Structure 1
């Protein structure tokens, strides 16, 4: 009764002062939302650092937290479809925001679903310019949900955009003189990064599976012929096969985490390694 009385006595301005409750599917989205929203958002992520969203199953408590949010941002990682169904069932009126709005999506190389159609690559944020567009979509959604703080969200976006633009310039400068435009990855997470900077990503894993003996031999032969010197791996996956391939072709294995909170720094690190200037 006392709580109800307090709520009734609160002014509209006081109620508006409450931060937006926001749910996101992965950590990179949490980074973007917090950068744009600042102290006007409280963000809960369905995954934690180190989790693989392709196989992670959120707990009932996480589903409840997400369904209690004002907004939920998603980006197309595989199991989002299952999560979103459960969250939608818990709260049909929750506003869902696809941050890929207006972005041309690419296909995962050699990756086909059970219906024979290629799956869309969800790793849009690995391209800094596309991460900037995602941030703009986040700004617009936050502004629509809380128009009284439009200027706050715009300022947050502008600060983030300036940082992204700076990283983008650094990457372009690093890669400008690079002649070897092809790099090897275990999991095909860097396709948008490659497309943005005129590179080619070659993946060890295809369709979520390691290659068979014949395909592996062909991959090793091609990597040797092209003098590929690095294989990128992720902490969410075993590196055993990548180590074998690296030994066979005389390359090094480098760990990048596109699913971590510092994904912009990881993109810069990728460019430095490709350019032979790792920090």
Structure 2
């Protein structure tokens, strides 16, 4: 069961591209997935603790090999299911910088305890991204509900840039001697996110899924959908990790009238018992499931790589030809994803070899 924070009140079969364009997709996927920064840094590097694994990728993007990053919650664990422990607090106390998403209750408890132990405001210890960057972040309205969705906001490219910029500024303040390196890394990250945005626009147009309606398993997937030009109109799994009958009825109406074309399911939900219910729903209604990553890809914490992988997963579930056959573009997507996974596994093996060799 998730420890939900209350949502804050709101303020405010188509024609496809020629095969050559999918070769470009393959090239971008492969280039973006080459090994970059390492988790393990040498002595004397800036020690950064992130509360959830998804934030690690932004620290590494701007800090490079000048930072040593540790996550309080691994990628495979839903942070909403975590209870703050004394060991977690002690671990964060030894850091030069703490980065918190600010969207889970135990993170706020951590911030208060760190402030008490160090006897300074948390703003001098770390960044609460939701609180400190809120006015600059794009927070989406909860589908069919009231307030704003605070779950997964880091997945939007525009928000990723805001987060990386804020982290870079703090790293400069902690380690001014390496300021030029941090600025250079940030510039490179901006460049890669811009390329990602161009790729998203090209693929969504080529596959013809821009503006299509989808359902999401949980709240985080809404930001993946929005990033890819999809309209997330319904969240299927509630706080009790089950699908309510009323929600199921609404979903079936959407499938029937064509307003919901697919279901986006996160890697976290995939591990829950409710995933079997989602599979039965998908198969029974003939609506595809697109599996996406919302926290971090294990062994390769890189935002652009993660979103490129998600784009491939969503695109391959959309615009499928009738009759159950696979077209050439779909084959190319499958090849691209297999090649990407091979590079991921190779990077993980190389990382382990460097640590133990």
TM-score when normalising by structure 1: 0.81
Look up the SS of the partner of 1:108 in the other structure: coil
Deviation track 1:11-60 (CA, whole Å, cap 9, x = no partner) reads xxxxxx93222111111211110121122222121111201011112442
* Structure 1: gaps of 5 or more residues: 1-16, 113-117
Partner of 1:184: 215
Give the superposed CA RMSD.
2.5
Post-superposition offset of 1:226: 1.4
Between Structure 1 and Structure 2, the one with more helix by share is: 2
Deviation track 1:67-113 (CA, whole Å, cap 9, x = no partner) reads 2212111223313223323333333335221335221323433566x
1:29 to 40, 55, 67: 55
Partner of 1:264: 304
User: 1:40 aligned to 2:71?
Assistant: no
Partner of 1:222: 254
Alignment: residue pair count = 258
Between Structure 1 and Structure 2, the one with more strand by share is: 1
Contact 1:29/1:73 (8 A) holds in 2: yes
Q: C-alpha distance in 2, partners of 1:84/1:208?
A: 27
User: 1:252 aligned to 2:288?
Assistant: yes
User: 1:135 aligned to 2:164?
Assistant: yes
Deviation track 1:118-159 (CA, whole Å, cap 9, x = no partner) reads 354231221123212211111111112222221011011122
Deviation track 1:142-195 (CA, whole Å, cap 9, x = no partner) reads 112222221011011122222222212111111124246212221121333434
User: 1:103 aligned to 2:103?
Assistant: no
Contact 1:185/1:203 (8 A) holds in 2: yes
Deviation track 1:228-272 (CA, whole Å, cap 9, x = no partner) reads 443222232221221122122112333212111344333233333
The 5 Å alignment of 1:37-186 reads 37-79=63-105, 80-93=107-120, 95-100=125-130, 101=133, 102-110=136-144, 118=147, 120-177=149-206, 178-179=208-209, 181-186=212-217
- Structure with the bigger RCO (C-alpha within 8 Å, sep 6+) is 2
156-165 vs 91-100, which moves further: 91-100
Using a 3 Å threshold, how does the CA distance of structure 1 residues 105 and 252 change in structure 2: closer, same or farther? closer
* Structure 2: gaps of 5 or more residues: 1-42, 319-329, 335-357
Contact 2:99/2:127 (8 A) holds in 1: yes
